[in-house]
Amino acid sequence: MRPTRTTLVSLIILFIISCSSLGYLFYTPNDTKFDYDLEKIKLEAIRGDAKSQMTVGTFYIFKDEKIEEGLKWIRKSSDQGNPVAQCFLGVSYFEGNFVDKDTDKGVEFYRKAAIQGYQPAQSRLADCYLYGWTVKKDQMEALKWYHLAALQGDTLAMNNIGSMYLHGEGVKEDYAEAFKWFHKAAMAGNAGSQLTLGQMLSVGDGCEKDEVEAYAWLKISAEEEADAYKEQMGLRKKITAEQISQAMKRVNELKPIIKAAFEKYIESKLSESDSPETQTVKLTL
């Protein structure tokens, strides 16, 4: 079972909550300063700056709750080729947020942004091809877009590539290749991949059997995945107290590496010049 894109969004929201008290990574001007800056941004938007148009649009939607006014500016930004605006409209049409649901339009906007190299759009377009949502199911096309998204750090794309190799979906079944992709995603913080990695290590699928390493990954995954806790408890009955102690040391080694990788991925999606509303949009696309 693959984790959904909602899983990744939930992780991001949890990360925001945990960091917000420190003001870490996020541009959080006071209301007075932001209102003053917004007037400048509006002028830039009127002059045709695509990024400013996106900022004004998200402000109207999420701060003032003026949906139509916000969409007007986001469409202007999209028309100028802003991939963030295009992906926002893609999600809006595909899921029926703020507009009447139209999955064909949604895919059209995903494709526009994906072609420009925008990772969230590449991932969502890949999902459409993998599952046959609106477009004809095409696993090889899905794999192409997942690869492009994975190169930009999308752990769910990495996980899905691993699943495709594990189950032989559109590619020849290859446990070693699957293990490689699950390991990449696990190291970057994907809990579903951490679970699968632990399972593969516990039996030696695509790798050398290593119950200590397996227990460590299951322990880490279990903080978010209930199934991982069950697997961890099952493995605990089979290994020694010494192996468990070694695994816990490994957990302490891995956690800071995983946290740093996840923070780097989040930071790569943001810019300090973005408004809080635009940052929220970027994190949830």
Cα end-to-end distance, the chain, whole Å: 22
How much is the pLDDT for 14?
A: 37
How much is the pLDDT for 4?
A: 54
Q: Supply the pTM of this predicted model.
A: 0.86
Position 27: which residue type?
Y
Closest CA to 281 of 17, 9, 2, 46: 9
How much is the pLDDT for 284?
A: 87
How much is the pLDDT for 35?
A: 52
pLDDT, one tens digit for every residue, the chain (285 residues): 565 564 444 444 333 333 332 222 333 334 444 454 888 999 999 999 999 999 999 999 999 999 999 999 999 999 999 999 999 999 999 999 999 999 999 999 999 999 999 999 999 999 999 999 999 999 999 999 999 999 999 999 999 999 999 999 999 999 999 999 999 999 999 999 999 999 999 999 999 999 999 999 999 999 999 999 999 999 999 999 999 999 999 999 999 999 999 999 988 888 877 888 888 889 888
